[in-house]
Amino acid sequence: MTMSAFPWLIAAGAVPLLGAVLIAALPSRSAALARPIALIASVGTLGVVVAMALQFQVGGPRYQFVSSYQWIPQFGVSLSFGVDGIGLAMVALTAALMPFVLLASWRDASDGPGMRGPKAFFGLALVLQAMVIWVFSALDVFVFYVLFEAMLVPAYLLIGRFGGAQRSYAAMKFLLYSLFGGLVMLAALIGLYVGAQKLTGSGTFDLQTLTSLSLNPGLQNLLFLGFFLAFAIKAPLWPLHTWLPDAAAEATPGTAVLLVALMDKVGTFGMIRYCLQLFPDASRTFSFTICVLAVISIIYGALLAIGQTDMMRLIAFTSVSHFGFIIIGIFAFTTQGQTGSVFYMVAHGFSTAALFLIAGMLIARGRSRNIADFGGVFSVAPLLAGFTLIAGLSGLALPGLASFPGEFLVLVGSYLRYPALAIIATVAIVLSAVYILWLYQRVATGEPRGSVTAAFGELRGREVMAMASIVAVLIGLGLYPQVLTRTIEPAVASTLTRVGVGDPEPVVNNAAKTLQKSPAGGDAQ
């Protein structure tokens, strides 16, 4: 770990935070200026992250761009931030998605004053972005926990103040689930501090110090479960997923993207960064059980997506299925599986963003969320229908689009460790084709249905810009995944070394061994 001369990660979070402050300072009569200020702040954040990423040394120190400042020295707490290849990928996802989300959400808030106006919506979105960036880069476990809990506030307000008729219920359900997981994690955090204090003589929350300790296996199991429960709720993993369909369905499309494409990744990221590295023995103990739950999530989410009539709920249930793929890849403990999981996290972020934003454009034009009310969109808005098809095909992991490399690596890596579970998970590929193609067929093909589709207009310039940019990323990552995998792989290798597992040896059956021998009994040349 090397200290950075410039606090890149602090700056990456400070830029959107400064934008939120400027928006809050706007007088009510100038509330509409919140939109361009938010867009400028998000583009500025992306610029900072790109400049930082260009300096990342693949194969260099694990944690780079490190900045550390004492905060509560009596308890060993410091404001420490840094990223490895995995953290950099997630910070880049957060920075890259926000400008497109803001462009597509330009009219998600009314121009009136108060907590439902553009000042509130765009200001809260920027605050949430800053917190997510710092969550992905925190190197102090206490700081991570504080940010993990604090980001619930802007998310709760975004769901509860904007969106559908049941938004208050959905926001409260989201908050209660998340707070419960956070409280359990807090108890585990205290236990971790006490355990470290007994081993070192002084308590600490420094991640690198904690990962060098060998905690008692029984204590590891308890602490692992405390952290994992919080992350499983956030991810979300079956059966702790039930808050997600309500929150995503009632939120605005832009808020749904922030929830599912960014915030939920904190759960799977936390499993890699904290569960595996802090509690390696416990991770191995519970790995098979977690993989079973992940396979249930994969199949369960896909089946429920097929049965949905609400467009937003369908996309939410597809994400439950996709997160199952990510989690089984993490706990299969193979290089392919974990590399695929991190790649899938990034690809899923863009794919789900495309689906939610397309759904929002359809709903805004048709004034309905019911899939059965649509039809014939291709004949009245071919560009919108085309983007719908590309977003759907990426969601079902079509080769050439971003989700395919990640899903393929996850299945290969999982098969090496748990062949039966990987084969069952593969069934979901067929199910995903059913719900995606069914959605596209009902919405885009055939004749326009009644007044809903007949009143459609084609995409506007800012909507085309947002969707074309996301589609370009989906195609780019699908055709050239090495740009991401080569950054991820060193961090994955380091994580697996800490867990104490290696890739399984290939199994060669007796028939294959026989074929390798020459007729005379010597080795074949």
Measured in degrees and rounded to the nearest 5, phi and psi for residue 519 equal -60, -30
CA atoms within 13 A on the CB side of 459: 23
Surface-to-core class of residue 524, CB atoms within 10 Å of its CB (0-12 exposed, 13-18 middle, 19+ buried): exposed
Instruction: Tell me which amino acid residue 317 is.
Output: F
The string of DSSP codes covering 371-391 is GGG---HHHH-HHHHHHHHHH
Enumerate residues 6+ apart whose C-beta is below 8 A from 335. Answer: 413, 489, 492, 493, 496, 503
Measured in degrees and rounded to the nearest 5, phi and psi for residue 197 equal -65, -40
Q: Which of 277, 258, 282 is nearest to 139 (CA)?
A: 277
CA atoms within 13 A on the CB side of 36: 4
Q: How far apart are CA 222 and CA 477, in angstroms?
A: 39
Q: H/E element holding 410?
A: helix 403-417
Looking at residue 380, its pLDDT comes to 78
Q: Where are the domains of the chain?
A: 8-504
Looking at residue 525, its pLDDT comes to 33
Q: Which of 269, 328, 322, 330 is nearest to 293 (CA)?
A: 328
The pTM (predicted TM-score) of the whole model is: 0.88
CA atoms within 13 A on the CB side of 304: 21
Asked if 206 contacts 76 with a C-beta cutoff of 8 angstroms, the reply is yes
Looking at residue 442, its pLDDT comes to 84
Asked if 127 contacts 154 with a C-beta cutoff of 8 angstroms, the reply is yes
Asked if 310 contacts 369 with a C-beta cutoff of 8 angstroms, the reply is yes
| Local confidence pLDDT in tens for the 525 residues of the chain | 556 678 999 999 999 999 999 999 988 888 888 899 999 999 999 999 999 999 999 888 889 999 988 888 888 889 999 999 999 999 999 999 999 999 888 877 665 555 567 888 999 999 999 999 999 999 999 999 999 999 999 999 999 888 777 888 889 999 999 999 999 999 999 999 888 888 887 778 888 888 888 888 889 999 999 999 999 999 889 888 888 888 888 888 889 999 898 888 999 999 999 999 999 999 999 999 999 999 999 999 989 988 888 888 898 898 899 999 999 999 999 999 999 999 999 999 999 999 999 888 888 877 778 888 787 787 778 888 888 888 888 888 888 898 899 999 999 999 998 999 999 988 888 888 888 888 888 887 777 665 566 667 777 888 888 889 999 999 999 999 998 999 999 999 999 988 888 778 765 554 444 444 444 444 433
Q: H/E element holding 141?
A: helix 141-150
Q: Which of 250, 405, 260 is nearest to 320 (CA)?
A: 260
Enumerate residues 6+ apart whose C-beta is below 8 A from 337. Answer: 328, 329, 330, 409, 410, 412, 413, 414, 416, 417
Looking at residue 509, its pLDDT comes to 54
Looking at residue 190, its pLDDT comes to 92
Six-digit token string for 60: 């260099």
Enumerate residues 6+ apart whose C-beta is below 8 A from 134. Answer: 9, 13, 81, 143, 147
Six-digit token string for 271: 């499993």
Enumerate residues 6+ apart whose C-beta is below 8 A from 508. Answer: none
Other beta carbons less than 10 A from residue 105's beta carbon: 25
Looking at residue 141, its pLDDT comes to 93
Looking at residue 519, its pLDDT comes to 46
Looking at residue 512, its pLDDT comes to 43
Count helices and strands in the chain by DSSP H and E runs? 24, 2
Other beta carbons less than 10 A from residue 257's beta carbon: 29
Q: If you search the block for the tokens 């206490």, which residue do you land on?
A: 142
Find the radius of gyration of the CA atoms of the chain.
23
Cα separations in angstroms, 116 against 27, 110, 158, 247: 15, 7, 9, 17
End-to-end CA distance of the chain: 47
Other beta carbons less than 10 A from residue 178's beta carbon: 22
Other beta carbons less than 10 A from residue 407's beta carbon: 27
Asked if 144 contacts 274 with a C-beta cutoff of 8 angstroms, the reply is yes
Six-digit token string for 327: 């989690």
| DSSP bridge pairs for 64 | 83
| DSSP bridge pairs for 79 | 69
Q: Which of 50, 14, 244 is nearest to 126 (CA)?
A: 14
Q: How far apart are CA 209 and CA 227, in angstroms?
A: 18
Looking at residue 522, its pLDDT comes to 43
H-type helices in 235-334, by residue range? 243-250, 253-257, 265-270, 277-278, 280-306, 311-331
